[in-house]
Structure 1
Amino acid sequence: MWPLDPSRKEVLGFAVSCRVLTLVLQVLTRFLCSSTPIVYWFSAHLLLDQEPLLKSLEAVPGKPPAGDPPPGQKVPRNSIMGLLYNWKTCSLVTRCVLGYFVTYWLLGLLLHCNWLPWT
């Protein structure tokens, strides 16, 4: 076996440190997002406080809201789908929260299917 010159040692060290960092980030993401619901509580709190469309929906699941929906808005049974359908009328906070979760979902779908590191 040949002796490792400094450039090979640096490349090997860089590759190992990148892999360790990737593994640590994956494990941390799994622990934070799977075992603690704080991320979801905070985003739900933001949505309930900032979004007027959610305030207009009744709290009874499965029952359509009383009255007609506002003009140009579609009100489905699932309130998250209602926010996605009415994207243009949502507040900036709602767009940011929904954009984060939709982007996370799409990136995870694309990267995981291609054997790239994603949690």
Structure 2
Amino acid sequence: MWPLDPSQKEVLRFAISCRVLTLVLQVLTRFLGSSTPIVYWFPAHLLQDQEPLLRSLETVPWKPHAGDPPPGQKVPRNSIMGLLCNWKTCSLLTRCILGYFLTYWLLGLLLHCNFLPWT
């Protein structure tokens, strides 16, 4: 290898250490995110306890979808879609939790497709 002056060696050492740190952080967060359901249980517990729209879904028995919904009312098949459709009536806690997960998903989609470090 060609002779490197001390400043080039420092830059190379810094670049390698940054890459290793990024790689380790990505792998750790992927392992924790995929193997630890507590990360998802806690927000689900908060939503189940704090959100009145989810509590109203528990008291109303689910009926099969027969035709069109009544005018002006959306009938969600998924409770998360129901929360997203009724965004303005949700509590602040619900909007923060949903906003966090939507932002995380969108940033991950954009950055990962562009080969940027994102987990």
Range of TM-score over shorter length: 0.7 to 0.9
| Cross-structure match for 1:51 | 51
Aligned 1:3-22 pairs, distance under 5 A: 3-22=3-22
Q: Which residue of 2 aligns with 1:67?
A: none
User: Match of 2:104, as an amino acid?
Assistant: Y
Alpha-carbon separation, structure 2, partners of 1:86 and 1:21: 41
| Equivalent residue number for residue 78 of structure 2 | 78
Question: For residues 59 and 31 of structure 1, do their structure 2 counterparts lie closer, same or farther at Cα, with a shift above 3 Å needed?
Answer: farther
Residue pair 1:61, 1:77 contacting (<8 A) in 2 also: no
Taking the TM superposition and a 5 Å limit, the aligned residue runs for 1:1-119 are 1-58=1-58, 63=63, 74-119=74-119
Instruction: Check the 8 A contact 1:48/1:54 in 2, yes or no.
Output: yes
Uncovered stretches (5+) of structure 2, i.e. residues with no partner: 65-71
State the distance in 2 between where 1:63 and 1:25 align. 45
* Letter of the structure 1 residue corresponding to residue 107 of structure 2: L
Cα distance, 1:19–1:28 mapped onto 2, change above 3 Å = same
Q: Percent identity?
A: 88
Q: Could you say if the C-alpha distance between residues 111 and 61 of structure 1 is closer, same or farther in structure 2, counting changes exceeding 3 Å?
A: farther
Greater Cα shift, 50-59 or 103-112: 50-59
One-letter code of the match for 2:95? R
Instruction: State the AA in 1 paired with 2:82.
Output: G
Tell me, in whole angstroms, the C-alpha distance in 1 between the residues paired with 2:24 and 2:16.
Answer: 12
CA contact (8 A) 1:62 1:77 kept: no
Which runs of no fewer than 5 residues in structure 1 stay unpaired? 65-71
Q: Distance in 1 between matches of 2:116 and 2:79?
A: 32
Superposition deviation, residue 60 in structure 1: 8.0
Maintained 8 Å contact 1:74/1:86: no
Structure with larger RCO (C-alpha < 8 A, sep 6+)? 2
- For the aligned residue pairs, the C-alpha RMSD in angstroms reads 2.1
